[in-house]
Amino acid sequence: MSKIKMIATDIDGTLVDDAKNLSPKTIEVLKKARANGIYVVLCTGRPLSGVANLLTQLGLDNDDNFVITHNGAQAVNAKSGKAIFKHLLDFSDFKRLDAISKELKVNMQTITTDSQLFVTSPDINYYSVLDTFYTHMQLRYRPVTEVPKDIEIAKIMWADYPENIDNALPNLPKDLLDKFDCIRSEKWFFEFMKPLATKGNAAIELGKHLGIDASEILTAGDQNNDLSMIEKGGFSIAMGNAIDTIKEKADYVTDTNNNDGLAKAIEKFVFED
């Protein structure tokens, strides 16, 4: 068995297939890893509520396990939801981004640490509704005047038709790109987070909390928001369906998410002598 002590994996396009399901092989291999004392950490843009079913299927829904949520804004206990650490946006960030988003005519949504998703426009966008469907967050309209100044914000997103985001991006003030960690996680999502709030930073920080060195962390992903994990992990896996940037940076390219790519890579690099 290898020296790997933590497996930090993305979910969509990596852990699950295109139908958002876990394969029997993936469940078997990850349960074996956990039984051998290896932490299995789901690293996701979703809140904890959005991965509850996956944690149950993998046997990770207890106090001995952890989840990295909101693309690295938090690491939380898998059962209690108690934060191990958090890197959050504040009210002034929210006010600035809300004003810019309205000026650029792009839909903005705000996600809090307690899994609330709200918009400040009464015209609810299709992509905000879609996001709540997959993440099990509550969606509400909340005028700016009703947002408390002590609000804990995990991330702020543009959730809109791809062409609307395409049109807005060239006009986004450069200082905002410098101030936040910004990522196009999907064609219809553009995310704003604190610079420390990346999956890679979160995996390393959680590892330190658990007494695990970066060299002992295996990471796996497929999209832009996984790049920090791929670059910072001790050994990195790109899915066969990953974008080219991820494949170029990873230590190994495995099979696709529809063909047990993650499970195959773990068997090869964690369990084979």
The residues, any chain, with a CB within 8 Å of residue 272's CB and separated by 6 or more, are none
The values of phi and psi at residue 35, to 5°, are -65, -25
The residues, any chain, with a CB within 8 Å of residue 48's CB and separated by 6 or more, are 67, 69, 76, 78, 81, 115
Catalytic residue list contains 166: no
CA distance linking residue 219 with residue 237, whole number of Å: 6
**DSSP assignment, residue 89?**
B
Reported as type and span, the H/E element at residue 82 is: none
Residue 262 half-sphere exposure toward CB, CA atoms < 13 A: 31
Q: Are 13 and 241 in contact (CB under 8 A)?
A: yes
Give helix then strand counts, H and E, for the chain: 10, 14
E-strand spans in 98-180? 108-112, 116-119, 138-141, 153-159
Q: Which of 98, 126, 94, 127 is nearest to 112 (CA)?
A: 94
Check 10, 12, 93, 131 and give the catalytic one: 10
Residues tagged active-site: 10
